[in-house]
Amino acid sequence: MKGFDRFRHSKMGMTGAIMLLLAVLVAVFAPLLAPYDPYAPSSPTIEDIYDSPSSAHLLGTDDGGEDVLSGLIYGARVSLIVGFSAAFISLFIGGLIGLVAGYRGGRIGNLLMRFTDFFLVIPDLALQIVIVAIIGQSLRNIIIVIGVLGWTTTARLVRAQTLTVRERKFVLRARAVGGSDFYILRRHVLPQVVPLMLANTVLVISLAILSESTLAFIGLGDPTLISWGQMLNFAFSRGAVSAGAWWALIPPGVAIVFVVLATTLLGNALEEQFNPRLGRHYLEKEVPPTPEPGSPPAQPEVLMSIRDLKVSFEVGQAQLMAADGVSIDIHRGEAVGLVGESGCGKTTTMLGALRLLPPGGSIAGGQVWFDGCDLVALTPDELRPLRWRQFSMVFQGAMNALNPVKTVGWQIAEAIRQHDSQVSQDEAEVQAGRLLETVGIGHERAGDYPHEFSGGMRQRAMIALALACGPGLVVADEPTTALDVMIQAQIMDLLASLRAELNMSLVLITHDLGVVAETCDRAVVMYGGVVVEQGTIAEVFRDPQHPYTQLLLAAFPDIDQPERLLVSIPGTPPRLDEIPPGCRFAPRCPQAFDRCHTERPPCYPLGPRRESACFLVERTWQGVSSG
Ligand code: SF4
């Protein structure tokens, strides 16, 4: 229902809907609206032929002396009947083929898609002309021909959506509990696909109306009915142009354009709401959250100050808090490691801080001060000049973050030119070559495509891309994922040396404690969407205060103590919709006591930029604060 709610606020969609409703009303009430009945027998005189507009005939008369306005009103019936009926046939055939191809996949899916491709490459209009000419020009035949030949785009669209839906967890669960294919398709897949099918159907209606008008215009319409295409055909073939009877030509043309425009506007608006591929994505315009009052940090050495940041995700009717009151300061030139198990909120926190949240995510509160301004309060237009110049990101999975059909050099140059239009493409590509040299790739490789790079080189290229505009802060999200150990070490060395050389700050998001210990100055440990401990590397690694940090370190091999047994942390991190009421770590904490299950521990400051969110440090904290 959310899509329909959004649709109600779409000017394009509402305009299309009103225009289409108008056309439908005209078609339905044609006998009441038309001043004359164009199907009634008449005996026109020579003066009646192509009579110009007058009070008796507001749009004049046609070659048969009939009232053009009445023909126009009755013509709406044929156009809309053909449009809606043919679209229904296309929807049925395309929907069925798309659903089966997407859900079954494999050989059946391939076979159905090749069949679809076959129909897709045949020119529709040529085939429609041939078939209608052979089987006859009745309205029923025209509807069937247009409907049967117009299902291909629906099939492809439905297949793509079904492929996505069938991989969702709820479909796997339905299969696991024994649901039949038909049941799963009907109860789980179809409801996810229908809105998109409806949006596509409106566009198919518009194509069907155009096809009918074209067939009628070339003389293949139903000769017993009045349609707009037929009116145009008669006007052109029976001397309207030479008689200067513009009224016989323009009104039917405008009527066709009006209805096609209405259905196109409506269909595009619906598709925008329901087609996930046209949905919002990273960096797209978003409504900035309401800023909270606050002032920037007084210490000039603080580059970024994340304060009480809350990031929520809309799941069904619920808003789930993926980061809940996170506060982190990043100093100039400092490297901060954000660690924790998968799903603890590390990436979400930084995506929220940089205003790069994916669809469904939003900032529910807090501030992100960056060099004096609150990023949370900025509009997308205000944020744009800051991106990449002030802060950039090395995204996880270099292959996915690089466009496969553009050269690496071009992509780096693109980032440079986005922020400095004065730089020519050639100049930007020279700079891109230099950046590639900086990360250990020869500038001559700038013309290569991402697939021509090895995994390590792609990651280096991503780092070069992140450095393109000389940002003060680089956020690297699991920059060594899927790389072998040697390459991992090289990438981390590269990041460390670049940070020192360029005096930039670095936030390293990782689950690898070893990497944090080697590369960072500080460590921030997150669990269940909150910061549970932070301090310098020495403080956190040598004297961990939070039981979660202690267990994380115990689970990590130590090269100095090869004989030490590794432990695993029992249980799993909490789901966002099942966050425990007290300490989030309580269900897994070996030191938990009663209070832990009912009360949320605050972050106890234990020293300058050192804190832990555990009741066990309360005494230490009291000692620190009283001393
Ligand atoms: S507050 Fe309690 S449950 Fe939470 S980490 Fe500390 S001891 Fe464990």
Q: Does the structure show a pLDDT above 90 at 335? A: yes
Q: How far is the CA of 516 from the centre of ligand 1 (A)?
A: 24
Give dist(CA 334, CA 615) in Å, integer: 29
What pLDDT does residue 359 have? 66
Q: Which domains are delineated in the chain? A: 66-278 (1.10.3720.10), 305-524 (3.40.50.300), 537-626 (no CATH)
* Token pair of 439 as six digits: 């990360």
Q: What is the pLDDT of residue 16?
A: 87
Question: Which position has the higher pLDDT, 194 or 88?
Answer: 88
Q: What is the Å distance from ligand 1's center to 624 Cα? A: 20
Q: Is the pLDDT of residue 283 over 50?
A: no
Q: How many residues does the chain have?
A: 627
- Asked whether the predicted pLDDT for residue 421 surpasses 90, the reply is no
Atom of ligand 1 nearest to the CA of 584: 4
Q: Percentage of residues in the chain with pLDDT exceeding 70?
A: 90
Alpha helices in 283-424 (DSSP H): 346-353, 380-383, 398-401, 408-419
> Distance from the CA of 580 to the center of ligand 1, in angstroms?
12
| Per-residue pLDDT at 326 | 95
Contacts 24+ apart (CB under 8 A), 136-142: 137/220, 137/221, 137/222, 137/223, 138/222, 139/78, 139/81, 139/82, 139/222, 139/225, 142/82, 142/212, 142/215, 142/220, 142/221, 142/222
At a CB cut-off of 8 Å and minimum separation 6, what does 576 contact? 313, 315, 320, 321, 322, 529
Does residue 287 register a pLDDT over 80?
no
Residue 576 CA to its chain's centroid (Å): 22
Give yes or no for a contact between 546 and 533, defined as CB atoms under 8 angstroms apart: yes
- Tally helices (H) and strands (E) across the chain: 25, 12
**How many other C-beta atoms can be found within 10 angstroms of the C-beta atom of residue 594?**
9
Pocket test for ligand 1, best of 616, 617, 618, 621 (most atoms within 8 A of CB): 616
Nearest atom in ligand 1 to 615's CA: 1
Q: Distances from the Cα of 243 to the Cαs of 63, 431, 457, 626, in angstroms?
A: 10, 67, 72, 102
CA–CA separation, 76 and 61 (whole Å): 18
What confidence tier does 202 reach under pLDDT thresholds 50, 70, 90?
confident
For residue range 508-534, list pLDDT tens digits in order.
Answer: 999 888 889 988 999 999 999 999 999
d(CA 577, CA 617): 28
Nearest CA to ligand 1 atom 3: 586
For the record, the structure tokens of 528 come out as 């269940």
Cα of 344 from ligand 1 centre, angstroms: 16
351 pLDDT above the threshold of 50 = yes
More confident call, 43 vs 169: 43
> d(Cα 367, Cα 302) in Å, to the nearest integer?
14
Residue 295: exposure state from Cβ atoms within 10 A (0-12, 13-18, ≥19): exposed
Contact 611, 602 (CB under 8 A): no
Task: Determine the distance separating the centroid of ligand 1 and the alpha carbon of 331, expressed in angstroms.
Answer: 29
Is residue 594 predicted with pLDDT exceeding 90? yes
Residue nearest to atom 1 of ligand 1 (CA): 614
Cα gap 342→321, rounded to integer Å: 15
> Which residue is closest in CA terms to ligand 1's atom 7?
592
Q: Find the 592 Cα to ligand 1 centroid distance in Å.
A: 5
Asked if 327 contacts 309 with a C-beta cutoff of 8 angstroms, the reply is: yes
Question: Residue 325 above 70 pLDDT?
Answer: yes
Residue 558, helix vs strand vs coil: coil
CA of 547, closest atom in ligand 1: 5
Write out the two tokens for 95. Answer: 């929907």
Question: Is the pLDDT at 279 greater than 60, yes or no?
Answer: no
Ligand 1 surroundings by CB, under 6 angstroms: 546-547, 583, 585-586, 589, 591-592, 596, 601, 614-616
3-state secondary structure of 505: strand
Average pLDDT value for residue range 533-546: 95
pLDDT at 223: 81
Average pLDDT, the chain: 84
Q: Which residues lie across from 509 on neighbouring strands? A: 338, 477
Q: Which residue's alpha carbon is at the smallest distance from atom 6 of ligand 1?
A: 614
Distance in Å, CA 573 to ligand 1 centroid: 14
What is the pLDDT averaged over residues 204-226? 85
Ligand 1 centre from 336 Cα, in Å? 24
Q: Rounded mean pLDDT of 540-553?
A: 94
Pocket test for ligand 1, best of 579, 596, 603 (most atoms within 8 A of CB): 596
Token pair 């595009």: residue? 268
CA 176 to chain centroid: 29
Q: Using the structure block, give the residue that is written with the tokens 């030490």.
A: 564
Query: What residues contact 87, with CB distance under 8 A and at least 6 apart?
Result: 147, 150, 201, 202, 204, 205, 208
pLDDT higher than threshold 60 for residue 286 = no
- The residue written with tokens 């555990």 in the block is 614
In what side-by-side order are the strands of the sheet with 335-339? 391-394, 473-477, 505-509, 335-339, 522-527, 530-536, 610-612, 604-607
Classify 292 as helix, strand or coil.
coil
SS3 state of residue 455: helix
Å from CA of 562 to ligand 1 middle: 29
Q: What is the bridge-based pairing of β-strands 522-527 and 530-536?
A: antiparallel
At residue 369, the pLDDT reads: 94
Residue 190: the pLDDT is 82
Q: How far apart are CA 557 and CA 342, in angstroms?
A: 19
Q: Give the DSSP H or E segment for 604.
A: strand 604-607
